Amino acid sequence: MSRRASLWVGWIFATLVAVGVVLTWMTVGGDRKVLLAGEMTDAHHQIELACESCHAAPVFASAAAAKKALNKACRNCHEDELKDGDDSHPRKSFRNPRMAAYWEKLDARFCTSCHEEHRPEITLTGAVTVAADFCVACHSEGEQDVRKNRPSHAGLTFETCASAGCHNYHDNTALYADFLVDHADQPWLVPDPVHVLSARQRSQEPASEATLERADAMAPPDALNEQATLDHWAGSGHAAAGVNCAACHAPEVEAGAPLSDIEAAWVSAPPRTVCRDCHKVEARTFALGRHGMRQHPEVSGPRDATGSAVGDVLPEAIMAWLSDAPHPAHMTVREARVPMRGAAADQSLDCGTCHQPHAVDTKRAAVEACTSCHDDLHSRAYVGSPHHALWLAEVSGDAAAGTGVSCATCHMFKAKRRGRIVTSHNQNDGLRPNEKMIRPVCLDCHGLGFAIDALADDDLVAGNFRGRPTNHVESIEWAVRHAASADRDEDR
């Protein structure tokens, strides 16, 4: 064979091999990072290699089927959040054929109409990939023309709709007209400001008969010799609630089992899954936020190449090479896209990161755990802020429970579930847009007008609310005027 022919043959062979390898990565298993078509949004970058979480359609599915599966994947993770947020534009409203005229303008039946992944250049805050004035699509003509419906909006342009303090597409729990009118004329600070649910949670005393003392600890002798650990446990909520060592270190052993059984089943470093057995709500909500989203049940795991069609054909070594690497179970601080402390870069995020396993000190978890990693302006400004001063007063016992404002107070909502106050561990729930925290947090202490103004003031947020808002959002005044005008029309 001539040199030229050899080169042609070699090139064709190399091309086929390269295509074959990548095709196998796509359909069977292997590292697919090189195939990413664009940088992922901050919301999903942690799960960028769990492709099937979103691309759930079978290989070579039609475009329509792929789109349908993609949008279903969005709802699998975000539907509950939208329901909780009292979605202003629910999907079901747009599925009505009556709304067909709007589908051409902006098809709100599909999440991907506004939120496309792998489009970093056109991705705005909230992973929105349509222009900021997208409201113009439906609200600029006909019955929905806000400039006619609301005289106050006559001179406004559509890129200002989603300005802080005005409107959000999905979550408007604190921004709809009736709520604004009902909370007009509130003072900036209510008398006796206290975060009610925090106060009630902190005042919840465990049943005294269940409380365990240091001497009640049941553990192998070696473990009992760790005095500091034992002291931590004895002062923890676990001991107060009657949770003995075996509950975590020998979870398979039934309560009341003899020490010999506990010793036999003892695990020195129990997996974090034992936390989930008791703290179900906390574990579930942890997986909804960015701290724990890799543990979300809808996030796909690595593909098992051995179970594929070629699994029985190819040698084991090749199958091992083709298999997906295990997806990391936890987010690490290094991977965060917000400013973080360099010293914490290798820290991975699970229960023990914020909660010391034995001390279970929620006060530490509420502030120090956050500030030990986060290094953005808002976090750095917290120490020394008015909210921090209140927190220190509460922690020291100088102020009543619930009067302090920790990081967790604002970013980890509390809710009453089945008679018990639980803490949501989805720390993103009140962010993007930050008006989501007005009702569950801010209004316990502040008036609505002040809260809207404060959250709309980026500098004030960055400075962790040292001072007063410099701009005023006129939402409440407009809503009051509109209500008065509507009342007058009704009277006529």
Partner 1 sequence: MLTFTEQLVLLLNDEDGAPLPIRHDVAACALTGAVLLDLAFDYRIDTDLDALVVHDPTPTGHPVLDRLLVRIADGSEALDTRTWIEVLSAEEGTAIRDETQANLVERGVLTVRKSRIPWVRSRRYPSRDGKTATEIRAEIANVLGSDEIPDPRDVALVSLLDACEILPEIFPRQEMDDVRPRIAQLRKMELIGREVAGAIADIERLVIQAVRARAAQFQRLLLVLSSVGCVAALAILLAPSVPVGEQFGANFLVDLWFDNVWRQWSGYVLLGLSGAALLAVLLMMVRPIVRLGGYNWWRLAHVVLGIGALLAVFVHTGFRLGTHLNAALMVCFLAALIFGGLAGICSNAAGPLRRMGVSPQMRTIPMRLHILALCPLPALLIVHVLVVYLY
Tell me the window of 25-33, 178-186, 293-301, 302-310 that interacts with partner 1 (CB under 8 A): 25-33
Q: Are 31 and 325 in contact (CB under 8 A)?
A: yes
As measured in angstroms, the least distance from the Cβ of 335 to partner 1 is 17
Residue 121 interacts with partner 1 (CB under 8 A)? yes
Among 9, 13, 23, 273, binds partner 1 (CB under 8 A): 23
As measured in angstroms, the least distance from the Cβ of 105 to partner 1 is 9
- Would you tell me the crossing angle of helices 448-456 and 475-491 to the nearest 10 degrees? 130
Q: Are 85 and 435 in contact (CB under 8 A)?
A: no
Tell me the window of 17-25, 95-103, 204-212, 452-460 that interacts with partner 1 (CB under 8 A): 17-25
* CA–CA gap between residue 357 and residue 194 (Å, rounded): 29
Residue 5 interacts with partner 1 (CB under 8 A)? no
SS3 398: coil
Question: And the tokens for 235?
Answer: 């002062």
Tell me the window of 113-121, 144-152, 418-426, 473-481 that interacts with partner 1 (CB under 8 A): 113-121
Among 55, 109, 341, 380, binds partner 1 (CB under 8 A): 55
Residue 134 interacts with partner 1 (CB under 8 A)? yes
Residue 122 interacts with partner 1 (CB under 8 A)? yes
Among 3, 60, 154, 268, binds partner 1 (CB under 8 A): 60
User: In the complex with partner 1, which residue's Cβ is closer, 117 or 350?
Assistant: 117
Residues 390, 368, 456, 434, Cα dihedral to 10°: -120
Among 14, 65, 210, 343, binds partner 1 (CB under 8 A): 14
Tell me the window of 37-45, 210-218, 386-394, 463-471 that interacts with partner 1 (CB under 8 A): 37-45
Among 72, 89, 91, 119, binds partner 1 (CB under 8 A): 119
Among 51, 224, 310, 400, binds partner 1 (CB under 8 A): 51
Look up residue 334 and give its DSSP letter. G
Among 59, 154, 255, 317, binds partner 1 (CB under 8 A): 59
Number of neighbours of residue 71 by Cβ within 10 angstroms: 19
Tell me the window of 19-27, 288-296, 399-407, 431-439 that interacts with partner 1 (CB under 8 A): 19-27
What value does the CA radius of gyration of the chain take, rounded to a whole number of Å? Answer: 27
Residue 26 interacts with partner 1 (CB under 8 A)? yes
Q: Are 453 and 470 in contact (CB under 8 A)?
A: no
* CA–CA gap between residue 434 and residue 461 (Å, rounded): 10
Residue 11 interacts with partner 1 (CB under 8 A)? yes
Q: If DSSP states are collapsed to H, E and C, what string results for 60-101?
A: CCCHHHHHHHHHHHHHHHHHHHHHHCCCCCCHHHHHCHHHHH
Interface of this chain with partner 1, residues 135 to 154, rule: CB under 8 A? 136-137
Residues 142, 148, 152, 157, Cα dihedral to 10°: 60
Residue 163 interacts with partner 1 (CB under 8 A)? no
Q: Are 424 and 414 in contact (CB under 8 A)?
A: yes
The closest of 444, 408, 406 to 425, measured between CA atoms, is 408
# binding residues, partner 1 (CB under 8 A)? 35
Please report, as ranges, the residues that interact with partner 1 according to CB under 8 A: 11, 14-15, 18-19, 22-23, 26-27, 33-39, 51, 55, 59-60, 63, 116, 119, 121-122, 129-134, 136-137, 158-159
